[in-house]
Structure 1
Amino acid sequence: MSRLNGKRTEAERDGLKVNVAILGAGRIAHHMAETLNAMTEDPRYANLVAPYAVAARDGERAATFAKQYDIPVSYGSYEELLADPEVDLVYIATPHSLHAEQGIQCLKAGKNVLVEKSFTANASQAQELLDVAHEIELLCTEAIWTRYMPSRGIIDDIIASGAIGEVRTVSANLGYVVSGKARMIDPALAGGALLDVGVYPLNFIDMVMGPRPIKRINTAMIRHESGVDAQSSTTIIYQDGTIGIADSSMVSVSDRSASVWGTKGYLVCENVNNVASIDVYDPNHRLVKRHDVPEQLTGYEYQVASAANTILDGKGECPEMPYADTMRIMRLMDRIRSQWGLKYPFE
């Protein structure tokens, strides 16, 4: 179990830190370790979280990782990590195909979980994982960092202000060459561009459009020789006549831009998966205002802080990425893959 399960008053929260453990020791786990260390040195977060443990299937690898980042505890198996009563929050940094199984194991061991995107490989797995979290009453949230970043609030405020009028179209793209990575091209690990890369443009569109009903989806993809999707283009046509356009690729480099088009102007975001600035233009394409995004540690700190505060508040869902939003994205990606005729071997 975790030391911090249950609700508490503000006074009871005082002095409590959330011990974070990292499950997996791959590339993204290193980014999280760097983030946790930076948070311990930042007065905004120093009394909120503590890097506590790392687990890998290779004990020597885990020990080397722990030494590199001054993490107190390392384990050569996930089971040992889950048996440690000092672990409050587990960050799952393994391939998509393992997220549901490992997330459920964590929850049943009494651990809150922050699950790297894509949350799971499909909507069925996602629902199973969230059902367990709801039943056990622990935090289970998706680590899609753009949902938690300050840039999201800035975009929301611009749209709410009426600066660009009524939103009619949202467009976003992301592409970088990662097809040489074994995990990315392995169907058994739910590889492909969609779950790793395409998830960002789709989330950007969803953050602007919200849960409005979809009329139809037009989508096409190019397969990698391994069978997974290498690149794709998707147009979402909503029942109210608005449109979302998402392009993604793991075989080419895109400009990573995201735009919201309105009846009185438009906004353009630099880098859809880590927004650096937001420019607002009038109907004559004149720059009206540039909104700079606050300086960040790594960008991961916002999701960690949200998860930690949610745990200390005794709640089960982070407000930035509630269950409904995660499920909407997972169902959307299932629907897109269904049109492609793309199934993973375990489905």
Structure 2
Amino acid sequence: MKIAVLGAGAIAHKMSNTISQMENVEPYIIADTVAEKAQSLADQYGYTKVCGSVDEIVADDAVDLVYIALPHSLHYKFTKICLEGGKNVLCEKSFTVNADQAREILALAEEKKLLLQEAIWTRYMPSRKIIDDVIASGVIGEVTSLTANLGYELSAVPRIWDVNFAGGALLDCGVYLVHFARMIFGGNITDIKTSAVFRNGVDMCDNITMIFDDSKMATMQSNVYAAQNRSAAIFGTKGYIEITNINNPEKITVFNDQYEETASYLPPKQITGYEYEVLACMRALKNHEIECQEAPHAETIRVMEIMDDIRKSWGYEIPVIK
């Protein structure tokens, strides 16, 4: 599978490192408006072609999948260009700036029978099945609540603090927490309560509490101005699960109701963790599917709707780039 990467920032480096080590995947095109950045990635990871615009990617019939590695505010625009040009797309999170944009480009992908997928990597990882299997086993009883946090000190990343680039903690870190809660509890959310601290016009730190069907509760915090421990815990009537690093689980530990460790699991060795979303796209394309079962279109839209509602409650509006 020949992959074109649009953008040459930090996340493009990570994906380039990943696909350069995968079997049956070729780092084919790297594109960025800054030629030096694109050439640097090409030299480091062995891309076949370097270009300066999305138009050159769309014009190349050999491209099987385009990976969008641009700021959130540009996802809609460039995903739409790729779809209109007949390309399958794996787009970084947050998928778009709002749910309306997500619905529009997902409808376009369905109309054109093209794969369009959100690169929310935690939905594709083997650790997700490990957690699901532990819960399904009944060893911690009926799950009633969870807590999670995700935060990094990102003061040196300009886009995080710029409303025009859809900055803030929610779209960068909080999106993982919303997905996590929905992966564990699913179903309907009956109530959401949130609060946020703003800095430079964007949400710096967010608290999110969600109540799900059957009175299940998720309590979470995201932050872009502190190094949080990225931990999560899932609580049940007979015990609980602790997850080390919610963003890329390193260890999953099970405790009984006497606070004794009863089991622990280590996810399989990985390249970076990004390979799982690429493999999911490969399977979908092989099976002529336009979405991956790990992250269905309906779930991408629902998460965007939830984040829209949260921002609306804060009075935080993000300028939309068409």
Structure 1 length-normalised TM: 0.90
Q: Could you tell me which residue of structure 2 aligns to residue 6 of structure 1? A: none
Offset from partner CA, 1:203-257 (integer Å, 9 cap, x none) = 11111011x2222111100001x21100010100124211011100011111111
Distance 1:338 1:62 in 2: 37
Match 2:280 to one of 306, 312, 315:
306
- The corresponding residue for 1:125 is 101
2:7 to 6, 24, 27: 24
Range that drifts further, 58-67 or 97-106:
58-67
- Cα distance in structure 2, aligned partners of 1:155 and 1:164: 11
Alpha-carbon distance, 1:38 to partner? 1.2
Q: Could you tell me whether the CA contact under 8 Å between 2:185 and 2:212 is conserved in 1?
A: no
Paired AA for residue 165 in structure 1: G
Q: Please, which of 140, 148, 171 is the counterpart of residue 172 of structure 1?
A: 148
Give the drift of 1:202: 1.5
Tell me the residue number matched to 2:194.
219
| 1:110-130 CA-partner distances (Å, limit 9, x unpaired) | 110000011111111111110
Ranges in structure 2 where 5+ consecutive residues have no aligned partner: none
8 Å CA contact retained: 2:16, 2:41: no
Opposite residue 37 of structure 1, the aligned amino acid is S
Determine the structure 2 residue equivalent to 1:138: 114
Is 1:55 the counterpart of 2:31 in the alignment?
Answer: yes
Aligned residues: 321
Partner of 1:87: 63
- The one-letter code of the counterpart of 2:107 is D
Matched, 1:74 2:50: yes
8 A contact 1:60–1:76 mirrored in 2? no
The alpha-carbon deviation at position 81 of structure 1 amounts to: 1.4
Q: Distance in 1 between matches of 2:26 and 2:51?
A: 17
Secondary structure at 2:129's aligned position in 1? helix
Give the whole-Å Cα distance in 2 for the aligned partners of 1:239 and 1:21. 41
**SS of aligned partner of 1:240:** helix
Partners in 1 of 2:31 and 2:161 — Cα distance?
Answer: 25
> Which residue does the alignment assign to 1:329?
303
Report percent identity of matched pairs.
Answer: 47
Report if the CA contact (8 A) 2:150-2:177 is conserved. Answer: yes
Contact in 2 for aligned 1:139/1:311 (Cα 8 Å): yes
Q: What SS does the aligned partner of 1:275 have?
A: coil
Name structure 1 gaps, 5 residues minimum.
1-17, 40-45
Give the letter aligned to residue 113 of structure 1. Answer: V
Q: Note the C-alpha offset of 1:198.
A: 1.1
Over aligned residues, Cα RMSD in angstroms? 1.1
More deviation, 179-188/152-161 = 179-188
Which residue in the other structure is 2:247 paired with? 273
Deviation at 1:88, TM superposition (A): 0.8
Distance 1:346 1:308 in 2: 31
1:70 alignment partner AA: G
Cross-structure match for 2:79: 103
Task: Answer yes or no: is the 8 Å Cα contact 1:231–1:249 preserved in 2.
Answer: yes
The CA deviation at 1:50 is 1.4
Q: Alignment partner for residue 183 of structure 1, among 159, 167, 176?
A: 159
TM-score by length of 2: 0.97
Query: Is residue 198 from structure 1 mapped to residue 174 from structure 2 by the alignment?
Result: yes
Query: Does structure 1 conserve the Cα–Cα contact (< 8 Å) formed by 2:11 and 2:69?
Result: yes
In the alignment, which residue of structure 2 is the partner of 1:284? 258
How far apart, in 1, do the equivalents of 2:53 and 2:81 lie? 13
Residue 16 of structure 2 aligns to a residue whose secondary structure is helix
SS in 1 for 2:229: coil
Kept in 2: contact 1:133–1:140 (CA 8 A): yes
2-structure distance, mates of 1:82, 1:184: 29
Do 1:59 and 1:77's aligned partners in 2 also have CA atoms closer than 8 Å?
Answer: no
Tell me what 1:244 maps to.
Answer: 218
For residue 58 of structure 1, report the CA deviation from its aligned partner: 2.6
The Cα shift of 1:59 comes to 3.0
User: Does the alignment pair 1:35 with 2:35?
Assistant: no
Question: What is the rounded CA distance, in whole Å, between the counterparts of 1:241 and 1:32 in structure 2?
Answer: 39
SS in 2 for 1:279: strand
Contact map agreement 1:142 1:326 (CA 8 A) in 2 = yes
